[in-house]
Amino acid sequence: MSSRTVRVLVSVLAGAGLMLAAPAALPAVANASPAAVAEVSADGCYTWSGTLSEGSSGEAVRQLQIRVAGYPGSGSQLAIDGQFGPATKAAVQRFQSAYGLGADGVAGPATFGKIYELQDDDCSPVNFEYGELNNCNSDWSGGKVSAATARANALVTMWKLQAMRHAMGDRPITVNGGFRSVTCNSNVGGAANSRHLYGHAADLGAGSQGFCALALAARNHGFTEILGPGYPGHDDHTHVAGGDGRFWSAPSCGM
């Protein structure tokens, strides 16, 4: 992840309750003593300041929810709605536990610091790229939702995959495809209501884990649709997706 360090007054930070703009540089502080100045990492994608906890709301919360979307608990999906409720607190706690942080459910400097380590300047997690989630076209157009929505849905999917990858020992996860336009979907014989058309879905290769391990792990990371070996047309990949409802089927894997 590319990041830069800017210097700001401690007194300014202590009173700040709003997001710091990034990556715009802050003005230099004249005649500031070393004791009055602190170093703060400003991230190239998004920078938080202060803390977020249950009851918080707004864009800062929504951005946090995207990053912890892979920690909703087994069989659940976290709403990306900008409201820090009990489900978001629990997801933050699971994220914190996964990375050895104090699991109090309050997102502060340690939590944000870990997120900064895990994301690139385009907001994707370090181990996944937008290109992996779209081998159909270059602009995310032609699906069942706007291009911006399809791309945003793919970002959430990548963060879910990042959580799943970490839970599986940080071994690489192979993504063979994701978003499809209506035309791309038709060309591969996809279902008319495929979640690929919305940017929610990813098709995974076996990698070193195997299809069944991927399908079973996906249950804990916010995927409401999981299709794998034993389900028609899915013996050669594991399909994971978000979206409404829940349908899991991988009979050869006991699911």
pLDDT of 11 over the 60 cut: no
60 vs 4: which has the higher pLDDT: 60
The pLDDT, as a whole number, for residue 41 is 55
Q: What is the pLDDT of residues 166-210, one digit of tens each?
A: 999 999 999 999 999 999 999 999 999 999 999 999 999 999 999
Model confidence band, residue 131 (pLDDT cutoffs 50, 70, 90):
very high
With a CB cutoff of 8 Å and minimum separation 6, the contacts of 167 are: 98, 217, 220, 221
The pLDDT, as a whole number, for residue 26 is 32
CA-CA-CA-CA torsion sign (140, 247, 75, 237):
negative
Q: Would you name the residues annotated as active-site residues?
A: 234
Mean pLDDT of 74-100: 98
Nearest to 135 by CA among 67, 205, 192, 232: 205
